[in-house]
Amino acid sequence: MNLWNGSWIAALSVGALVWGLTIWCIVVYRRRKNETGLPAQVRYHLPIEIFYTIVPLIMVGVLFFYTARDQAAIADTSAKPDVTVNVVAKQWAWDFNYVDSNVYDTSVQVELTGKPIPQHEIPTLYLQVGKRVEFVLNSRDVIHSFWVPAFLYKLDIIPGLTNRFQIVPGKIGTYEGKCAELCGEYHSQMLFEVKVVSQADYDQHMAALKAAGQTGSLPVDLGRHGLIKNTDPSKGSTP
């Protein structure tokens, strides 16, 4: 957020300076009624040319430094997570493997029904408030993108490549999630919800998945339309 605000302040400052100088030149050097001919022709002004070459380079360098610093901090996954969730994207739905609890949740693709998913059937990802979670992202078919706007972060999910990022949900609530990469006919229906809950509610949900027989994990290479129950954990994906 500091980088975003600082970039806007710098951009507005430069804009105000440029607009001010432009208006000043228009007013001061405007053509008077009694003037004739052309104004004095100047080939170059070396100090000014050096100034407007060096200053932009310095500005770009400063922005690059702070952007690279903050991006590295945001993308850092060296901290040990409290929970690991393997998110598997597929046209056009989601599978969630709760690695530590050895259970999974899944949803049926829109394509199989030909109708939008009812609100109560949208897949829901459960997270504990205040716990560091690492998302391990995989795709079964095409490029998708895991995006929860409230988290202020999204990351592409690319076939054959495992991407990771970590967050610490700080507030209990329900948040909307979606695929942010055009992935086919029903891309707009590739939705999910995130429920950030207390530890007790999280444990209750894990127990409900286990009681429903959804133990183990859904393999990354299961196939675009694969939906399985009682998966053998030894055959599942290993984030």
Place of tokens 């050895």: 102
- Buried b / exposed e over 5-32, threshold 16 CB at 10 Å, is eeeeeeeeeeeeeeeeeeeeeeeeeeee
pTM, two decimal places: 0.72
Please state which CATH number belongs to domain 83-218: 2.60.40.420
pLDDT tens digits, 77-128: 889 999 999 999 998 889 999 999 999 998 876 655 556 666 667 889 999 9
Whole-number Å distance between alpha carbons of 186 and 90 = 11
The CB-side HSE value for 164 (13 A sphere, CA atoms) comes to 16
pLDDT tens digits, 2-51: 888 888 888 899 899 999 989 998 998 888 888 888 877 777 888 888 88
Of 160, 151, 157, nearest to 194 (Cα)?
151
Whole-number Å distance between alpha carbons of 3 and 234 = 44
Give the bridge partners for 153, in sequence order. 148
For the chain, the structural domain boundaries read 2-27+43-75, 83-218
